[in-house]
Structure 1
Amino acid sequence: MIIFSQNMLIARAINELKAKKFTIGLVPTMGALHKGHLALVKKALNENDRVIVSIFVNPTQFDNKDDLKKYPRTLDEDTVLLKTVSKEKILVYAPTVEDIYEGNAVSQKFDFDGLEFEMEGKFRAGHFDGVGTIVKRFFEIIKPHRAYFGEKDFQQLAIIKKLVEKYNIPVKIIGCPIYRETNGLAMSSRNKRLKPEYKNTAPFIYKTLKVAKEKFGTKSANKVSEWVENEFAKHELLKLEYFIIADSKTLKPVKRKSNKKVYRAFIAAYADDIRLIDNIALN
């Protein structure tokens, strides 16, 4: 398995692959890989001749410097995991901040037609400018035919689709289902930092989402939201940041249910100082 740290070298390698008519899939990650990432990589391998896995903790999408500092960096372990999937068909791009940003680690400003101001955008200032900046940069360097993103970050997925649309980037964006632990907890690199008591109680987030989905069949969005807020208010360890039922297309909170629209419930909660997010389709 070849690991590239310079954009010029990986771009050259990709050009050589494309000269052989190989298709290229991209799985962008921030490392600390888990089975959810591997599921994305496996899907990408099924649909492309070669897969680039980027491993880069992007500083411009962190609004919390402490979170950036503590984010796990496990490149050696990550490459060992990737080799269990394929040793020949995966290329790793693990650049430095300098290689990506060339001395100017500042986000580009984007207009994602309002998607960036909902949910995560309200609680993480500048986050989606950082996401847009790094994903656009990867698309420019790697020029993949397809790129794969997990639905756990559903808002991010919607924003990347909007990025591709607005900038006419020739890449197909493929969303993949949320990969969960056996207890229902959505897999996340941040789960590695959970203390045992918080890891044991964190599946409460998904259990609550599942009940909220049931209730949404007969109750209003406001009633469901009130119930979720009350459940978390009673919880000793988990602190709810937000629970929102939104239109899956616009991501705007629902005011009155319509049979013609598709809805999704989104949640963010703190387990100690670890922020966890999840979502579920409602209809």
Structure 2
Amino acid sequence: MKVFKTKKDLKTYFSNLIPKKSKIGFVPTMGALHKGHLSLIRTSLKENSVTVASIFVNPTQFDKKEDLEKYPRTTERDLQLLKDVGCHVVFLPSVEEIYNQNVSSERFDFDGLENEMEGKFRGGHFDGVGTIVKTLFEIVSPNNAYFGEKDFQQLQIIKKMVVKNHMNVHVIGCPIYRETNGLAMSSRNERLSIEQRKEASIIYSTLLEVKEKIKVFSVKEVNNWVISHFKKHPLFELEYFTIADEETLKNVSEISPDKKYRAFIAVYADSIRLIDNLSLNN
């Protein structure tokens, strides 16, 4: 496995050692890797001749400085995991390498996708995501890029960015990788107490119940049930729950048989923020 810390060295490697017709798969990460990340790497390895992962904790997508400071950094462990799974190339840049002296975001128009759900609670977050993903795509020039569906809004926004910027990258969403109790795998899970991690099964079980209830009850009734359900649980505070159109991400008041919908949820366990979502169509 090759590890590069500069754009110049990575591009030199690609231009000199990678056959021109090689298909490149790319998995951008912020490190603190878990089985969900590794499942993306394995998918890329199956579908491409060269798989590249990046590890970069991107400062411009954090709306709270303390979240950036607390984000786990486990670089040596991450590199070993990537080597063990068979990743070919790792891009490990510094903040200076990516941003030079200007640590700021581009401004993007994602046709309103950025204003829904996460966008209402995390100011500037998706400009930061768009900035780093666009930059990494320009550096790596992948054919395929892989993202987990846990961050479904992010996935849709990256697909929109690729279209609007005429980038020749196929963005692929991969199923959410879950812990045995259903909790969506996240680097933040490591910060949960043993009790919180166990009880966090309520998030996924709630989504599963929503999928059944929406067949019988109205969207408003289901929303009210979720709010009431979390008020009874002492360990978790509901930030938001919404049923939204998969394409526009706008919340809906009724379900039509010809459209695709997802239930989205964000929950706090003390200061630790957990998100999840579930398709309501299959």
What is the rounded CA distance, in whole Å, between the counterparts of 1:198 and 1:64 in structure 2? 23
Tell me the residue number matched to 1:61. 61
**TM-score (norm: length of structure 1):** 0.97
Tell me the residue number matched to 2:4. 4
1:122 counterpart = 2:120: yes
What is the rounded CA distance, in whole Å, between the counterparts of 1:194 and 1:5 in structure 2? 32
* Contact 1:198–1:272 (Cα < 8 Å) also in 2: no
Tell me the residue number matched to 2:38. 38
What is the rounded CA distance, in whole Å, between the counterparts of 1:27 and 1:223 in structure 2? 39
What one-letter code is carried by the residue in structure 2 that aligns with 1:166?
A: K
Give me the identity figure in percent.
60
What is the rounded CA distance, in whole Å, between the counterparts of 2:105 and 2:20 in structure 1? 35
* Residues 217-226 or 110-119, more deviating: 217-226
* Contact 2:181–2:198 (Cα < 8 Å) also in 1: no
* Contact 2:30–2:56 (Cα < 8 Å) also in 1: yes
How far has the Cα of 1:6 moved from its partner? 0.7
What is the rounded CA distance, in whole Å, between the counterparts of 1:169 and 1:209 in structure 2? 34
Tell me the residue number matched to 2:100. 102
What is the rounded CA distance, in whole Å, between the counterparts of 2:154 and 2:16 in structure 1? 31
Pairing partner for 2:165 from 144, 164, 167: 167
**TM-score (norm: length of structure 2):** 0.98
Deviations 1:144-192 (A, max 9, x none): 0100000000000000000000000001001000000011000001111
Give the number of aligned pairs: 281
SS of the aligned residue for 1:84 comes to helix
How far has the Cα of 1:257 moved from its partner? 1.6
Tell me the residue number matched to 2:27. 27
What is the rounded CA distance, in whole Å, between the counterparts of 1:20 and 1:159 in structure 2? 30
RMSD: 0.9
What one-letter code is carried by the residue in structure 2 that aligns with 1:15?
A: S
What is the rounded CA distance, in whole Å, between the counterparts of 1:52 and 1:249 in structure 2? 29
What is the rounded CA distance, in whole Å, between the counterparts of 1:15 and 1:174 in structure 2? 25
Tell me the residue number matched to 1:282. 280
Give unpaired runs (5+ residues) of structure 2: none
What is the rounded CA distance, in whole Å, between the counterparts of 1:266 and 1:243 in structure 2? 6
Tell me the residue number matched to 2:203. 205
Q: How does 1:172-211 map to 2 (within 5 A)?
A: 172-211=170-209
How far has the Cα of 1:20 moved from its partner? 4.3
Tell me the residue number matched to 2:78. 78
